[in-house]
Amino acid sequence: MTRKLIVSSLVMCILLVFTLQLPSASAQIPVTITKTADGDVLFSAQLLTNIAATSNGQWVAIEGLNPFTIHVTGITTATAELRVSNNSTKPLDTAHEVAYPTAGASLTADGMWAIIDPVRWVKVRISAYTSGTINAYLFGKTQ
């Protein structure tokens, strides 16, 4: 019985933390997924890293994991837009699909969006830029 418990614990430890590389036409954005001891699944990704120009952003497959938040930092004079899609295949990064309506279409200062609806794809784009070094972080929890 002790041997079974040790093997089960080892298997659980292996399953608790892993990184999922999501498909992308260009560089991939890693989404880290962690299962907690109480059964919750935490997921996170950095959608934008040190952006200092306009940017199309990059679509990330969320496949209905919700709810989640997107926190945007580093805006001095710029506009960040949250975009979502439920297309069955990954949209082109140059396609901007749908502005998430319940959060407002854009941020012109550091802020956070809360996404409660299931979506397949999400991205943050910088549609206007004058100054700042912009980062965008996705974080969510599901059971």
| pLDDT tens by residue, the chain, 143 residues | 444 444 344 333 333 333 333 343 456 788 888 999 998 889 999 999 999 999 999 999 988 788 899 999 999 999 999 999 999 999 999 998 888 765 556 899 999 988 888 899 999 999 999 999 999 999 999 87
**Bridge-partner residues for 62, per DSSP?**
none
Share in percent of the chain as helix, strand, coil (round to 5)? 15, 50, 35
Predicted TM-score (pTM) of this structure: 0.77
DSSP string covering 112-134, please?
Answer: EEEE-S--SEEEEEEEEEEEEEE
Residues whose CB is less than 8 angstroms from the CB of residue 1 and which lie 6 or more positions away in sequence, other chains included: none
Looking at residue 4, its pLDDT comes to 45
Q: Which helix (H) or strand (E) holds 8?
A: helix 2-16
Residues whose CB is less than 8 angstroms from the CB of residue 7 and which lie 6 or more positions away in sequence, other chains included: none
Looking at residue 100, its pLDDT comes to 77
DSSP structural state of residue 90:
P
Question: Taking a C-beta distance cutoff of 8 angstroms, is the pair 133, 77 a contact?
Answer: no
Looking at residue 81, its pLDDT comes to 93
